[in-house]
Amino acid sequence: MDNWYKKSKLIKTASHQSSSFLKQKSDAGADNQTANDVKLFDVKKYNMDSYSIRISISKTYDKYSTSIVVNNEFLGGLSWSVFWSYELNEFDLAKKTYATLNEISKKILTKMVDEEIPTSILFPMLKSSTEDVDPQGRVSTHIPSINYSRRYPTSPDWRENIYGKRYPGYSENSYRQEKRNKY
């Protein structure tokens, strides 16, 4: 079976040039910013549960900033975000974080589609997978309870918290498949 989604290119590599911020054309609309914007569409019937992931790297007058932001596509609400900040002489660290975030999101999106994982688990999986991505470069929220909670590992799958490893199986069939299975 030909997996068309595996052939689609997700990662854009950032590299420094003296004449411009990044070698690649900016998707963010500015010369000092670039972003990778990917969408996760629900493969089941719950079309209100699609998400977008925006991974960006920006250059300001005094720093580089890398971020990952997850939004619910239909409701428009912010689900989760994390930012990293780097000095101007730390471009290689900012570029490495950007590339790592793209790799992590690619692996998670592929797994979610292949295994039909509920899309509401997207940001907990991303949060768990990015905990070790340059913890010293993360931007403080200045909210003590949030900063405190970042010290503890999170479960990537809320189903494990509710059901342990006994999450009930569920299958969706079309009318044609249902008829074939019954008769």
Question: C-alpha angle 164/168/172, rounded to 5°?
Answer: 145
pLDDT digits over 88-120, tens only? 999 999 999 999 999 999 999 999 888 888 787
| Residue pair 98/55 in contact by the 8 Å Cβ criterion | yes
Confidence grade of residue 28 (pLDDT, cut at 50, 70, 90)? low
Residue 61: is its pLDDT beyond 70?
A: yes
pLDDT tens sequence across 137-162: 999 888 888 777 777 777 777 666 66
Structure confidence at residue 24 (pLDDT): 52
Q: Whole-structure pTM over 0.75, yes or no? A: no
